[in-house]
Amino acid sequence: MSDVAIAKLQAPVRKINLRRPDVMEAVQAQVMSHYRSNLVDRIRAHSQVRSTDGLLTIKLAKEFGFCYGVERAIDLAYAARKVFPDQPIYILGEIIHNPEVNDQIRAMGIKSISGKEKNADVEDLKEGDVVIIPAFGTELATRARLEQKGCVFVDTTCGDVMSVWKRVRQYSRDQVTSIIHGKAWHEETKATSSQTGSGHYLVVLTLSETDYVCDYILNGGSKQEFLSRFNGAHSEGFDPELHLKAIGVANQTTMLRGETEEVQRRLKKAMSDKYGEANVNQHFRFFDTICGATQDRQDALVKLLNEPLNFLLVIGGYNSSNTAHLAEMGESKLPTYFIKNAAKIISDREIVHYNLHRHEETTTLDWLPSGKITVGITAGASCPNNLIEDTIRRLFDLRNATIHEENVPSE
């Protein structure tokens, strides 16, 4: 898509004022009834809860669950249904990466235009139809197609994501190739890639891929092999011999900060070695675009993992990037079980959890130790508190234990 076309898409479109006090008061009451947990709210101040017999202690990370961007996206989706109670409403895929939340959106009669739960086509839409853009944003070509139809947008794109877009658009204007640390197939990264317009981009996921790019910058290589290795992860017409001379690093906002920083460090060193330290700023740029809420949850988990724990439970959608990174962090320290809800805790002998390496659910037996234990719990930014409460109560039920009310002050 040309830069002119991008500029047109950034111009004002038909707007709806969904955040009116009368609307939001009703919406927030509905959202709280669906997703809030009084128990988790009460525990949060103390960061832990224990059983009356002292044999079970559950410690929560200081930061977990819904972030502001997720809350805003859900509020706007609910508000759209409130303002348009009888009108067809469509959404571009999942509002966030949490199955329970997305089930609730579908239960309100909001139809999905893309994704695994797709039940409508762009061709079904007509002028004036309401389309929700998820928190991840959407590709410019998709938005342009819907604008041409005269659709009305409810844009829930996260502000942190739009900050990344601003960076890659600037890179493109300056004829700098965007190196995006992220997952090329992820909705957010696809949306970010589209923001480069007539400029170029390359998506790298791992440090191994980063090293491959660095080696090409320094030593050259087979262009066809390069393009084959990054098939589906680069802009149309990308030429590594031409488009790696000036690069700027950006990222999917939910990546691990330390890994993104290492990506930029290695690329900066390669450009410095290639062009000289004095000239590196002419060939390399970097801006910190990690989501603040993502970082807060990662920092909180680091602190939790420094405490004595028997194991860690990570709660959230399996396709949630920020949640998966929390599970990765846990796995590096102690037994970690990544579950999407309490129903995955089958019994005190059996738990079904997501295997990050095989990308599928797996079953672990004899997972819950006997005797005195301390369990760590955290949750991704798209996980509602009611699912965290369900998990806490499930653990207490399995141990035939009662919550020590002195640790859970009444409201």
188 is catalytic: yes
Distance CA 55, CA 61 (A): 20
Two tokens, residue 317 = 């959608």
| Number of helices (H), then strands (E), in the chain | 15, 15
Is residue 234 classed exposed, middle or buried when 0-12, 13-18 and 19+ CB atoms within 10 A define those classes? Answer: buried
Which residue in the list 63, 187, 188, 389 is annotated as catalytic?
A: 188
> Taking phi first (over 0 means left), then psi (-120 to 50 degrees means alpha), and beta for anything else, what does residue 190 get?
alpha
Partners of 351 in the β-ladder: 345, 364
Angle (nearest 5°) at CA 19 between 18 and 21: 120
Distance CA 387, CA 313 (A): 12
Question: Residue holding tokens 């309490």?
Answer: 342
DSSP H or E run through 302: helix 292-305
A 10 A CB-CB count for 2 gives 9
Give me the amino acid identity at 267: L
Distances (CA, A) of 14 to 10, 11, 143: 12, 10, 13
Q: How many residues does the chain have?
A: 411
Partners of 201 in the β-ladder: 178
Catalytic residues: 188
